[in-house]
Amino acid sequence: MEDVAFIKTPLGIAKITGSSEGLSSIIVLDSKEPLTDIIPESLEDAVYQLNEYFEGIRTEFQLDLNPEGTEFQKKVWLELQNIPYGRTASYMELSKLIGDPKAIRAVGSANGRNPLWIVVPCHRAYSKTLIFKSYKKDYLVCSISEKLLSQQVNVLSSIKVSFPSPFF
């Protein structure tokens, strides 16, 4: 059985789902939900690390993840985690990195089905037209991507950081 917690973030109310096996989803809701008073033990680390992230303290997550998805989707989600904080990568770059350069649209589709927003940084991946649409055509997704990238740029502007290719 999975545990659920609702927490307040700068992006809105986030619903966090997981168990002792790891996190299965983190989504930002566009509706109001009552906040969780007592965070289940299996989700405490996730809530703590998300709070650090939004405070600008954390740039990487160290959490056990257990999302549901196809093997291809999981391969894409794993590669998304390699995009450095404050950087972006195109679906084309990601398709090459997973060894399937013709799977650009499939990478975009997998990105849009990422159930672990923020922790698996789908907001750092974009389509050829530089629109962060995640194949969802959803204003909420674009707005959240912009806010997350903006926060990362603000945090990084205070320190000197260099990144290796292929990310820019």
Q: Give the residue numbers marked as catalytic.
A: 122
Q: How far apart, in whole angstroms, are the C-alpha atoms of residue 103 and residue 94?
A: 9
Q: How far apart, in whole angstroms, are the C-alpha atoms of residue 92 and residue 105?
A: 9
Burial class (CB in 10 A: 0-12, 13-18, 19+), 20: exposed
Q: Write out the DSSP string of 30-41.
A: SS--PPPSS--G
Matching residue, tokens 């990238």: 149
Q: How far apart, in whole angstroms, are the C-alpha atoms of residue 149 and residue 88?
A: 9
